[in-house]
């Protein structure tokens, strides 16, 4: 999949014109759930809303992912501005935005559906982009969860199948994006350094409270995001279950952080585009904020040094901050939803003096916190059963025991 702001004719004048055009470019979010909806609210709260367009999935409402309590706590003027982001004028009438409209209007379109829809959305976006002759619109995804190929019985993240796909990831505590005093860090990752730099600049304009940094490690970032979601659950469990023995927490959090980083470091060594990632960049990685071009680990095997891990991605400060922040109790506000899922799990085990028999036993505690099991990443119902569950790299939330 070709996925760049520039066509194949990379002459100086065309690059200059495209970069100048991108300065006034627009970002689009398609399939608006809780996280992209919260980003849109933050944009409406902090700016005039001109830099962002949104398009809910057909049959879904713009505010459908928010609870009634959350909507009541929002400023009506900001909500009205969000609603203007979701429509455009056609023959004097407001018309809901569609994926096609985003591709016609925006320079960067983030497909923000979860793993149930993201692959079909990507295929539709590629087909529409070609039909509309808008091949220079860059596509990115927001989902960090694993997908599964049931024919091959293999789990993967989408950027593995589509290594030129961008990936946008930011730290999202429960409800914090709707707090006007909070600020956030995020990464926009694309294997081409120039595209990553320009894409991060576009996303950085969404709100002055959201600082977006570029990176080239989209595959590693997706793995970190998926592992982080599970680690956040275990961290929440540790905080609640071992609250009388807080000395356990530093060890637990260190192990969880190492797990996220070590898995992504191993994955990095097996990238199909690894040589191109480092050796064919239009600008040096140090221009993106990386301290050095590459950090590798090696083991001595039979007297020979063998490269086994690549930790270059660990210099993505916003990504590491995301992992750390997702595994910690904030000073104010609420932790991530996955962290709260771990707290619910610990409280249930303390109460029943055993592990839960299924998700049904966790639902009452989740409802008390204002959300259902569908709000936990990785907790969607699994139709295959525990022995054939597609979540082979991490245990499925439906079958954790």
- State residue 398's pLDDT score: 34
User: If pLDDT is split at 50, 70 and 90, which confidence band does 159 have?
Assistant: very high
* SS3 (DSSP) at 301: strand
Q: Is the pLDDT of residue 81 over 80?
A: yes
Element of type H or E holding 141: strand 138-141
For the ranges 136-145, 198-207, 352-361, which has the lowest average pLDDT?
352-361
Asked if residue 78 lies in contact with residue 45, where contact means CB atoms within 8 angstroms, the answer is: yes
pLDDT band with cut points at 50, 70 and 90 for residue 303: confident
Taking the C-alpha atoms of residue 109 and residue 93, their distance in angstroms, rounded to an integer, is: 24
Lowest mean pLDDT among 225-229, 263-267, 376-380: 376-380
Q: Is 180 exposed, middle or buried (0-12, 13-18, 19+ CB in 10 A)?
A: exposed
Residue 359 pLDDT: 75
Q: Tell whether the model's pLDDT for residue 195 goes beyond 80.
A: yes
- Per-residue pLDDT band at 395 (split at 50, 70, 90): very low
Write down the mean pLDDT value for the chain: 86
For residue range 278-292, what is the model confidence (pLDDT) as tens digits? Answer: 999 999 999 999 999
Question: Considering only 101-115, 347-361, 369-383, which range has the smallest mean pLDDT?
Answer: 369-383
> pLDDT at residue 297 above 70?
yes
Q: Given this model, what pLDDT does residue 84 score?
A: 94
Tokens of 193: 């350094």
β-pairing, 184-189 with 93-96?
A: unpaired
Query: pTM for the complete prediction?
Result: 0.86
pLDDT number for residue 389? 38
- Contact between 1 and 134 under an 8 Å Cβ cutoff? The reply is no
CB of 320 within 8 A of CB of 216? no
Confidence check: pLDDT of 336 > 50:
yes
d(CA 101, CA 86): 11
pLDDT band for 399, please (50, 70, 90 cuts).
very low
Structural domains of the chain sorted by starting position, each given as residue range(s) with its CATH number in brackets: 24-216 (3.40.50.720), 223-375 (no CATH)
């Amino acid at each position: 999949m070709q996925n760049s702001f520039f066509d194949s004719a990379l002459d100086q004048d065309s690059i200059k014109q495209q970069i100048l055009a991108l300065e006034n470019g627009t970002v689009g979010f398609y399939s608006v759930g809780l996280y992209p909806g919260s980003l849109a609210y933050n944009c409406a709260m902090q700016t005039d809303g001109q830099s962002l367009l949104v398009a809910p999935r057909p049959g879904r409402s713009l505010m459908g992912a928010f609870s009634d309590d959350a909507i009541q706590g929002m400023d009506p003027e900001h909500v009205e501005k969000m609603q203007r982001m979701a429509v455009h004028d056609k023959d004097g009438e407001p018309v809901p935005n569609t994926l096609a409209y985003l591709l016609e209007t925006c320079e960067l379109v983030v497909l923000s559906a979860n793993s149930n829809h993201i692959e079909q959305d990507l295929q539709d976006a590629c087909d529409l982009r070609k039909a509309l002759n808008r091949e220079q619109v860059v596509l990115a995804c927001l989902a960090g969860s694993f997908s599964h190929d049931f024919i091959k019985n293999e789990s993967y993240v989408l950027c593995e199948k589509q290594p030129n796909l961008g990936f946008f990831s930011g730290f999202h505590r429960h409800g914090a994006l709707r707090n006007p005093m909070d600020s956030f860090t995020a990464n926009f990752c694309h294997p081409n350094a120039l595209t990553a730099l320009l894409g991060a600049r576009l996303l950085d304009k969404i709100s002055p409270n959201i600082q977006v940094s570029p990176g080239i490690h989209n595959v590693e970032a997706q793995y970190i995001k998926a592992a982080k979601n599970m680690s956040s659950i275990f961290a929440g469990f540790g905080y609640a279950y071992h609250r009388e023995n807080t000395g356990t927490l530093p060890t637990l959090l260190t192990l969880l952080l190492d797990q996220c980083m070590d898995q992504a470091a191993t994955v990095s060594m097996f990238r199909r585009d690894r040589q191109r990632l480092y050796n064919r960049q239009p600008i040096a990685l140090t221009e993106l904020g990386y301290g050095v071009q590459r950090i590798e680990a090696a083991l001595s095997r039979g007297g020979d040094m063998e490269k086994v891990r690549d930790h270059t991605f660990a210099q993505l400060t916003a990504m590491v901050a995301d992992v750390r922040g997702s595994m910690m109790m904030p000073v104010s506000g609420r932790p991530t939803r996955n962290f709260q899922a771990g707290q619910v799990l610990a409280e249930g085990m303390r109460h029943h003096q055993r592990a839960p028999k299924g998700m049904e036993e966790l639902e009452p505690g989740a409802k008390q916190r204002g959300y259902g099991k569908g709000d936990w990443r990785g907790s969607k119902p699994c139709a295959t059963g525990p022995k054939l569950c597609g979540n082979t790299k991490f245990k499925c939330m439906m079958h954790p025991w």
